[in-house]
Amino acid sequence: GRVVCSAPRRAAAPSAGARRVAMRAETEDRRGGVQLSPSCSIDDMEGCSLADLEMMYIDALWTYYTSNKFMIQNDVYDKLKQELAWQGSEFPTLKRYEVEFVKAVIENARGTPIMSNNEYERLKAKVKKNGKRKDVTALLLYAKGQQTLSPEQFDELSESMKALGIDVALKGAACTLNNDPSILTKDAALSSTVLLAVSAIPAVLAAVPYAGVSYFYQPLPLVGGVAFSLATGLLLGQALLNRMQLNDAEVLVGACTCCETPVKQLFAGNDKLPVVTKKCDNCGTLLDISREKMEILQGTPQAR
pLDDT tens digits along 265-279: 888 777 788 898 888
Would you state the pLDDT for residue 57? 81
Q: Does a structural domain hold residue 207? A: yes
Residues 129 and 58 in one domain: no
Residues 188 and 285 in one domain: yes
Q: Does a structural domain hold residue 10? A: no
Q: Is pLDDT of 67 > 60?
A: yes
Q: Does a structural domain hold residue 5? A: no
| Range scoring the smallest mean pLDDT among 242-246, 247-251, 278-282 | 242-246
Q: What is the average per-residue pLDDT within 149-177?
A: 75
Q: Does a structural domain hold residue 186? A: yes
Domains in the chain, number: 3
Domain boundary (176, 203, 227) is at 176
Domain boundary (135, 151, 176) is at 176
Band (194; pLDDT cuts 50, 70, 90): low
Domain that holds residue 219: 179-304
pTM: 0.47
Residues 285 and 192 in one domain: yes
% of the chain with per-residue pLDDT over 90 = 2
Domain boundary (61, 86, 111) is at 86
Residues 184 and 304 in one domain: yes
Q: Which of the residue ranges 68-72, 125-129, 238-242 has the most confident prediction, judged by mean pLDDT? A: 125-129
Where does residue 55 fall: left (phi above 0), alpha (psi -120 to 50 degrees), or beta otherwise?
alpha
Q: Report pLDDT digits (tens) over 93-144.
A: 667 888 888 889 999 998 899 999 999 898 888 888 876 677 778 878 887 8
Q: Does a structural domain hold residue 257? A: yes
Residues 201 and 296 in one domain: yes
Q: What average pLDDT does the chain have?
A: 71
Q: Classify residue 217 as exposed, middle or buried by CB count within 10 Å of its CB (0-12, 13-18, 19+).
A: exposed
Residues 171 and 183 in one domain: no
Cα–Cα distance between 298 and 304 in angstroms, integer?
16
Residues 36 and 123 in one domain: no
Would you state the pLDDT for residue 285? 73
Band (19; pLDDT cuts 50, 70, 90): very low
Tell which wins on pLDDT, 263 or 217. Answer: 263
Residues 265 and 298 in one domain: yes
Residues 112 and 101 in one domain: yes
Q: Classify residue 72 as exposed, middle or buried by CB count within 10 Å of its CB (0-12, 13-18, 19+).
A: buried
